[in-house]
Amino acid sequence: MSPIKISRAGYVLALSFTATALVLNIPAAMEPTWEKLIQIFLLGSVLLILGLASPALTSRRKTR
């Protein structure tokens, strides 16, 4: 299975979209429902995955 190639611009766009969606969902968490908590957890997970899949980090790992 080959890794998915994402351009730096596409990566930054996905990262900023996910971070914005997470920040906009913070007020909704003040009256927590299961749906909102699951949504915030999933957005946080996607943000973490995008952070770990950063093109700068992957190119750094390859050079070592």
Strand (E) or helix (H) holding 39: helix 34-52
What pLDDT is recorded for position 43? 84
| Cα–Cα distance measured from residue 55 to residue 34, given in angstroms and rounded to the nearest whole number | 34
Residue 41: pLDDT over 70: yes
Comparing 33 with 5, which gets the higher pLDDT? Answer: 33
pTM of the model: 0.61
DSSP 8-state secondary structure symbol assigned to residue 27? G
What pLDDT is recorded for position 57? 63
Comparing 60 with 30, which gets the higher pLDDT? Answer: 30
Tokens of 17: 């979209």
Q: If 0-12 CB within 10 Å is exposed, 13-18 middle and 19+ buried, where does residue 18 land? A: buried
Q: Are 22 and 41 in contact (CB under 8 A)?
A: no
What pLDDT is recorded for position 62? 60
